[in-house]
Amino acid sequence: MNANIFLLTHKCGNNFIQDIFKRPKSINPLKRILLKKSSLNHYASSYFELTPKQTLEDSAFKKKFINLRCRNFRVEDTKLLIKKLDPQFARFFIFTRHPATFFRSATKYHLRGNENWARERKLEYFDNQTLYETLHKCSNFGEQLIVGMTHFGIKSGLVKNWVENINHLKKRKLNYYQIHCDELWQSKQYIKDFHKLISHGGFNIKYEEIFSKSPIGRKKLKIHSTGEFLKNPYDDYDQNALDFYKMNFNEVESILNF
Q: Is the backbone of residue 127 left (phi > 0), alpha (psi -120 to 50) or beta?
A: left
Whether 177 and 147 map to the same domain: the answer is no
- Confidence check: pLDDT of 177 > 90: yes
Mean pLDDT, to the nearest integer, of 244-248? 97
Q: What is the pLDDT of residue 22?
A: 67
pTM score of the predicted model: 0.88
> CA separation (Å) from 222 to 102, 129, 229?
17, 29, 13
- Interatomic CA distance for residues 130 and 133, integer angstroms: 5
Whether 177 and 83 map to the same domain: the answer is yes
Q: Give the range of the structural domain holding residue 122, as residue numbers without chain letter.
A: 100-157+223-255
- Interatomic CA distance for residues 13 and 26, integer angstroms: 21
Mean pLDDT, to the nearest integer, of 186-193? 95
> pLDDT tens, 110-162?
999 999 999 999 999 999 999 999 999 999 999 999 999 999 999 999 999 99
> pLDDT tens, 17-69?
988 886 544 444 444 444 343 333 445 568 888 888 887 777 777 788 999 99
Structural domains counted in the chain: 2
Whether 152 and 231 map to the same domain: the answer is yes
CATH code, 68:
3.40.50
- CA dihedral (101, 102, 103, 107) positive or negative: positive
Q: What is the pLDDT of residue 45?
A: 64
Angle between helices 75-82 and 158-171 (to 10 degrees): 40
Q: Nearest to residue 13, comparing CAs of 95, 78, 100?
A: 95
Q: What is the pLDDT of residue 47?
A: 86
